[in-house]
């Protein structure tokens, strides 16, 4: 199974700041089959990024993804109050689909 490690576990920032979240895979994720999801308390996850760098429908352009192979990054350019949430990366290159343990983005 591909293990995904996210860092940091918790990120404390202020609105307007830039957030950089990391996801590292235990083996190469082919063709960048890597997605990012946002989850707010009491809500279902929402797809933000797929194919490592493509934004899902309706996702603001302050969210961007990058990376390939084993190292991937989610960047939020200027944090809005509604962006404080938990973020998960997921690989869909191989079965079983696996998720990272999550990064909690909290207000400083």
Partner 1 sequence: EVQLVESGGGLVQPGGSLRLSCAASRFTFSNYAMSWVRQAPGKGLEWVSGVIGSGGTTYYADSVKGRFTISRDNSKNTLYLQMNSLRAEDTAVYYCAKAETYSGRYSPFDYWGQGTLVTVSS
SS3 97: coil
* Only segment of 12-20, 62-70, 76-84, 90-98 that touches partner 1 (CB under 8 A): 90-98
Q: Is 66 in the site for partner 1 (CB under 8 A)?
A: no
99 binds partner 1 (CB under 8 A): yes
CB 84 within 8 A of CB 105: yes
Q: Closer to partner 1 by CB, 49 or 76: give it.
A: 49
Please give the Cα distance from 77 to 40 (Å, whole number): 19
Structure-token match 């944090």, residue found: 79
Which residues of this chain interact with partner 1, rule CB under 8 A? 31, 33, 35, 37, 43-47, 50, 56, 88, 90, 92-93, 95-102
């Amino acid at each position: 199974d591909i293990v995904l490690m996210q860092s940091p576990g918790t990120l404390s920032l202020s609105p307007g700041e830039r957030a950089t979240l990391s996801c590292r895979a235990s083996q190469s994720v082919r063709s960048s089959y890597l997605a990012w999801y946002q989850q707010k308390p009491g809500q279902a996850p929402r797809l933000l990024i797929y194919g490592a760098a493509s934004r899902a429908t309706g996702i603001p352009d302050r969210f961007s993804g990058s990376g390939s192979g084993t190292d991937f990054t989610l960047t939020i350019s200027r944090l809005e109050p509604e962006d404080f949430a938990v973020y998960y990366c997921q690989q869909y290159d191989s079965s079983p689909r696996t998720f990272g343990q999550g990064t909690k983005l909290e207000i400083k």
